[in-house]
Structure 1
Amino acid sequence: MWMGGVPPYGYRVENRKLVIDDEHAEHVRWIFARFLEIGSGTELAREVAKRGIRTPRGNRIDKKYLYRMLSNRAYIGEAVHKGESYPGEHEAIIDRATWDRVHAILQESPRKRAARTRADTPALLKGLLFGPDGAAFSPTHTRKDGRLYRYYVSQTVLKHGAGSCPVGRVPAGEIEAAVIDQLRAVFRQPEIVAGTWKAARADVADITEADARAALQQLDPLWDELFPAEQARIVTLLVERVDVGSDGLNVRLRVDGLSGLAREMLAGGIEAAA
């Protein structure tokens, strides 16, 4: 028997009992299933927004709301009273096996979850890395003694063989770290901050230069906490292309991407893995 208050998303109240709302219940099932696939509340919140899924009152569904949903035992047909869970009189929306798998993920630390999803994430510089001859580099990997080694290989080498390009293959971890280090340095450059502020003002009139600086500087300590998919999205947003040569690399940035990122940071749209 429902004792009052707002019913869980996916249910409505009839005669003081919870009854499944079919349309919203489908959203609940999709949210649980999608979380099993990506393991990220931040990415899930973004996908929920893209699908136009909102609360019954029309409010945006954020990461905190999603985690409350994923932990609500009403979805497995139970009622909670004073911290204790009991069989409820309502029908479950989520089966117990799905619930248990979701909660196995939730019990992992954010860092472990990030590491677990890393292998399924597109290479950080896919489509962005080019060699001294202008040819694109493609991500690849090999396994040796049970360890995974990731690389980017020049299309020239793939077509014409080793030696056909002065830089034919680069270790993925090293080149990705070098690009990220350059990005982190960019966030601290006064001229970049000023340019980001001017670009962001076109959409947010009251943004100050200090706001833009604070937004960009937030990303530096936050970076290592982000899910790999979020890191890849930000790199694609910020980087136009990376040219690698015998004497180093050159990172070409998207100024509009920087201003967009600053607006996201100010709006709280980028969150650590959790």
Structure 2
Amino acid sequence: MSETQQVTPKRCAVYCRVSSDERLDQTFNSIDAQREAGAAFIASQRAEGWEQVEDNYEDPGFTGGNMDRPGLKRLLQDIQDGKIDIVVVYKIDRLSRSLADFAKMIQLFDRYKASFSSVTQQINSATSMGRLMLNVLLSFAQFEREVTGERIRDKFAASKRKGMWMGGQVPMGYCVDNRKLVVVPEEAEVVRQIFDSFVATRSTTLMVKQLVEQGVTSKNGKPLSKQALYTILHNRLYMGDIGHKGDFYPGQHKALIDQSQWDRVQEIMAQNSRERARDTFGQKCRHGFLLRGMMFTADGDLYLPMATRKTSGKLYRYYVVNKNQKMGAGTVEFANLPAAGIEKSVMEKVLEVLRSGQMVHKCWEQVCSLNPKLTEPEAMVLFFRNTAGIWDQLATQAKQDIVRTLIKRITVAPEGLHVDWRFEAWGALIGLPPKNLAGYEQLEYDLRELEIA
């Protein structure tokens, strides 16, 4: 042989993964074994130009059922950056147990001229036969993963039917000891108090106030809200049951309330729900609130729209502070605001801007800088005045869309209302070049185009 054939170096990366992190604290664990086997395999192919890169790509305690793994993401990124030619794993299921995910990886390998090789399975993705064997073996790996998942789900359901606690958020009144729910006396007393108080008061709003005054908090130290109370009052676990997919089984833990107490609470809650369904419009009144999501207190708390129809048939609309709605009236010192009055005040400010044109001229530089398509303030003034002229004929939704375009935020302060105008969006109302907006007919056309007429 007169001349030695030049071998092209191939940069090889070893990828290691293990699903469980239980034995990772051992002196020599599965990750170490995979890493050493990969390094030895690369060394055995030194004659072919294989060289191991210095970086190690490892995912201890990550499932192979998806690609959401930090080590794998870093490996794929380095492949795209042209830093790796061959990926070496101990077995192909270390790289992935999902046939769909593996197909995506192979496409990426091909795109960036990288290949894949297994230490214990003589497979190389660079050949057609290697690809076939990869797909066959990976199909079995995915089948194994799915069978394992079914077995775990069946075991979980069987354990629930036996009344065993299978994890999740630990409810108030209990703690977990040796994978079992154990009663915490202090918290259990609070739970019993909640059920008793609801039977007596029939009001979660009053209960929230009482619990705040008594200094009672949830497990994380926060005050109990109305939603938290509803969660407790609906939880059959306190009656000694364990639930699974809508079915309930006698639990192995101690109950905190009896059947009769549970039945009384559920009867009251069902009655209250029917009354709320009859009295409250809820989403049906969505477009009846002109200032939905726009009004805040001086402290930054949102005002929520509320609507109630009394037995007389009269509808009452008002805005209530978010904290008072969640924690009960009086939580913060902001009174409910009648919707009609506050909306009328805002409308007067809006119509003042639309009719006078002073705000347009006063803030024209700011409006124009945020909307460079506008050239003459007179066109916007004319449009605003025409809009004010037909204001009473516009539907509530149309008014709401215009108000949202003109106003960014409304702050309710002791001295009155403070309006932050949305100058950057004022030009959006016009839609067409100013020269086409000379009259009332064109205004109607534009409103139809905006779907707010």
Question: Could you state the TM-score of these two structures normalised by the residue count of structure 2?
Answer: 0.31
Based on CA coordinates, which of the two structures has the bigger radius of gyration? 2
Tell which has more relative contact order, 1 or 2 (C-alpha 8 A, sep 6+): 1
